[in-house]
């Protein structure tokens, strides 16, 4: 009896619920029309607007589905320009944080178009699909390696990573000089430390390797794919030292022990202007001792067929001619695998000097750094007689700039500041322009153009 009553109650309840949803009530409840609530009537204008909107969505969707992947990818990259003005309104460090989080979550476009074939090159036995990389400092803690590589960079350098986590300098510590296309920063190696970064890289390494294996097994081609240890993208790990550490070389050795297994190349950063005493390590004796110790630490580890990752040193653009000669001598004597030229400058070249922000302490990057760092690059290429691969960094904001660095002696190039201003759309643009520059001047590949502006000078040395 109770069961029958409760079944009736349930039936009544369900029936009433069904009748209160507009579509269901229209279809099934005509007999109960007088008890059902009134179906809301849209005005003629409302119906017209809804119809137009739906038509646009359906028509747009149908059109997009006919567009090929490359065109769609191009649209996505161009569309990212729309968010640049919004980012420009935010505090630089907040904007940077947002950018890293977006890339870490995959909320950035993924480059599906192949790189122009004249951009491919081999350095340290590794195949780079293009020579344009992301410089250190953007992804200091390896949070977004996959997303950043997916943007189409030929390689991404994470760090600088310090052995022990440290906060860096007090905020604000990043300043925009928008009109000059420049930034001044005094971050001071804010880092989550080698252990946190190793955990993150370990997890990503496994995932990227798995993705690579899956995609390799499905492709029939025999050609060697560009890429590093863990997949199609090449990963550099930039090592720093803790502010309070008294034994700098021991800090770099700790970095090597913990992170080198994930690195396609390692960088000893002795050129940040924001860690007291760091730049002193660029002196001839200090650098020689440091590189020897780090090389030994790396070589003592167990390496498979591929051998240990190449070791590079990143230098400042504020050195004297003698300093450069000393560094070149050390690089040649110790068979250093490469040099990155350069980090930020403590100088304030024109037109920055007249900007009130120029008085902020820290390293200047972006367009005003281009000439200084390119001239250093050229000097170093000549001093090392083209025997040490160089990464040209500082002020690159176009394909023509990247091309000039290559002609000045860079095998690879990196950028940070122009990417911070221009966003993802800048990367395909730089690659396309660089490819055109090579073609225009009759170079079949990047390698052919490396050091083109120094050939007469090198012949004379
Ligand atoms: C906000 C900021 C943070 C940086 N942090 C690092 C860093 O941690 N380690 C490093 O080696 N270089 C760092 N750099 C320097 C860049 O890697 C690069 O050498 C320099 O900005 C010049 O390149 P650009 O003109 O394309 O920006 C940083 C640069 C900026 C703007």
To test the pocket of ligand 1, the residue of 92, 133, 136, 171 to mutate (highest count of ligand atoms within 8 Å of its CB) is 136
Q: Could you say which of 56, 89, 122 is where a domain stops? A: 89
| 104 and 70 assigned to the same domain | no
Distance 416 CA to ligand 1 centre (A): 6
Which positions are catalytic?
A: 272
Residue nearest to atom 19 of ligand 1 (CA): 343
Task: Look at residue 4 and tell me if it is in a domain.
Answer: no
Alpha-carbon span 366 to 227, nearest angstrom = 28
Residue nearest to atom 1 of ligand 1 (CA): 185
pTM: 0.86
Take residue 218 and report the two structure tokens written for it: 């499905």
Q: Determine how many CB atoms are found less than 10 A away from the CB of residue 291.
A: 23
Overall domain count for the chain: 2
DSSP string, 91-135: -HHHHHHHHHHHHHHT-S----SPPPGGG-EEETTEEES-SEEEP
Q: Could you say which of 30, 64, 89 is where a domain stops? A: 89
Q: Could you say which of 64, 89, 114 is where a domain stops? A: 89
For each successive 10 residues of the chain (461 residues), what is the average pLDDT? 47 44 40 49 79 80 76 95 96 98 97 97 96 98 97 98 98 98 98 98 78 53 61 92 97 98 97 94 96 98 94 98 97 98 96 94 98 98 98 98 98 98 98 98 98 77 55
Task: Look at residue 354 and tell me if it is in a domain.
Answer: yes
> Is the C-beta atom of 274 inside 6 A of ligand 1?
no
Task: Look at residue 196 and tell me if it is in a domain.
Answer: yes
Helices (H) and strands (E) in the chain, counts: 17, 13
| 84 and 147 assigned to the same domain | no
> Is the C-beta atom of 174 inside 6 A of ligand 1?
yes
Q: Which of 190, 234, 184, 185 is nearest to 208 (CA)?
A: 234
Alpha-carbon span 424 to 83, nearest angstrom = 11
> Is the C-beta atom of 345 inside 6 A of ligand 1?
no
| 245 and 340 assigned to the same domain | yes
| 67 and 213 assigned to the same domain | no
| 53 and 156 assigned to the same domain | no
Q: Judge if the upstream peptide bond of residue 342 is cis by omega within 30 degrees of 0.
A: yes
Alpha-carbon span 131 to 153, nearest angstrom = 8
| 7 burial level (CB within 10 Å; 0-12, 13-18, 19+) | exposed
Task: Look at residue 112 and tell me if it is in a domain.
Answer: yes
Residue nearest to atom 7 of ligand 1 (CA): 137
Nearest ligand 1 atom to alpha carbon 340: 19
For the domain that residue 455 is a member of, what is the CATH number? 3.20.20.70
Place of tokens 């349930």: 10
Going from the C-alpha of 288 to that of each of 243, 252, 284, the distances in angstroms are 21, 14, 6
| 201 burial level (CB within 10 Å; 0-12, 13-18, 19+) | buried
Task: Look at residue 16 and tell me if it is in a domain.
Answer: no
Alpha-carbon span 324 to 342, nearest angstrom = 12
| 77 and 217 assigned to the same domain | no
The pLDDT value recorded for residue 295 is: 98
The number of residues in the chain equals 461
Distance 413 CA to ligand 1 centre (A): 13
Query: Containing domain of residue 97, as a range?
Result: 92-460
| 60 and 100 assigned to the same domain | no
Task: Look at residue 152 and tell me if it is in a domain.
Answer: yes
The pLDDT value recorded for residue 46 is: 82
Task: Look at residue 309 and tell me if it is in a domain.
Answer: yes
Alpha-carbon span 394 to 63, nearest angstrom = 42
| 179 and 281 assigned to the same domain | yes
Residue nearest to atom 5 of ligand 1 (CA): 137
The pLDDT value recorded for residue 229 is: 80
């Amino acid at each position: 009896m109770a069961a029958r009553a409760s079944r009736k109650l349930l039936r009544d309840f369900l029936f009433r619920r069904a009748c209160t949803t507009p579509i269901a009530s229209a279809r099934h409840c005509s007999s109960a029309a007088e008890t059902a609530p009134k179906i809301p009537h849209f005005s003629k204008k409302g119906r017209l607007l809804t119809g137009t909107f739906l038509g646009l969505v359906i028509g747009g969707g149908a059109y997009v589905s006919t567009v090929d992947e490359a065109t769609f990818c191009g649209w996505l990259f161009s569309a990212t320009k729309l968010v640049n003005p919004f980012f420009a309104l935010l505090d630089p460090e907040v904007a940077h944080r947002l950018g890293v989080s977006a890339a870490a979550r995959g909320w950035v476009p993924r480059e599906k178009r192949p790189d122009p074939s004249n951009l491919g090159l081999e350095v340290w036995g590794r195949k780079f699909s293009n020579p344009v990389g992301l410089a250190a400092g953007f992804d200091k803690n390896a949070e977004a390696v996959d997303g950043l590589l997916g943007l189409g960079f030929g390689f991404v350098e994470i760090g600088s990573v310090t052995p022990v986590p440290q906060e860096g300098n007090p905020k604000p510590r990043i300043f925009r000089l928008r009109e000059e296309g420049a930034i001044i920063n005094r971050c001071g190696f804010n880092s989550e430390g080698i252990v946190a970064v190793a955990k993150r890289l370990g997890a990503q390494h496994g995932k990227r390797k798995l993705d690579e294996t899956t995609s390799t097994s499905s492709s029939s081609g025999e050609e060697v794919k560009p890429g590093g240890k863990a997949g199609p993208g090449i990963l550099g790990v930039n090592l720093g030292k803790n502010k309070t550490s008294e034994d700098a070389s021991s800090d770099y050795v700790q970095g090597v022990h913990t992170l080198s297994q994930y690195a396609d190349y390692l960088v000893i950063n002795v050129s940040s202007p924001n860690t007291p005493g760091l730049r002193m390590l660029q002196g001839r004796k200090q650098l020689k001792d440091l590189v020897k110790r780090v090389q030994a630490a790396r070589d003592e580890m167990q390496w498979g067929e591929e051998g240990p990752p190449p070791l590079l040193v990143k230098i400042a653009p504020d050195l004297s001619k003698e300093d450069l000669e000393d560094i070149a001598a050390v690089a040649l004597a110790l068979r250093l695998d490469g040099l990155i030229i350069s980090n930020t400058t403590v100088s304030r070249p024109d037109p920055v000097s007249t900007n009130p922000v120029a008085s902020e302490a820290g390293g200047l990057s972006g367009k005003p750094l281009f000439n200084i760092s390119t001239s250093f690059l050229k000097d170093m290429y000549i001093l090392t007689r083209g025997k040490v691969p160089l990464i040209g960094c500082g002020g690159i904001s176009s394909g023509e700039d990247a091309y000039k660095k290559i002609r000045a002696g860079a095998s690879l190039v990196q950028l940070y500041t122009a990417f911070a201003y221009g966003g993802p759309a800048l990367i395909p643009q730089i690659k396309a322009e660089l490819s055109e520059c090579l073609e225009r001047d009759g170079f079949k590949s990047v390698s052919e153009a490396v050091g083109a502006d120094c050939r007469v000078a090198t012949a004379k040395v």
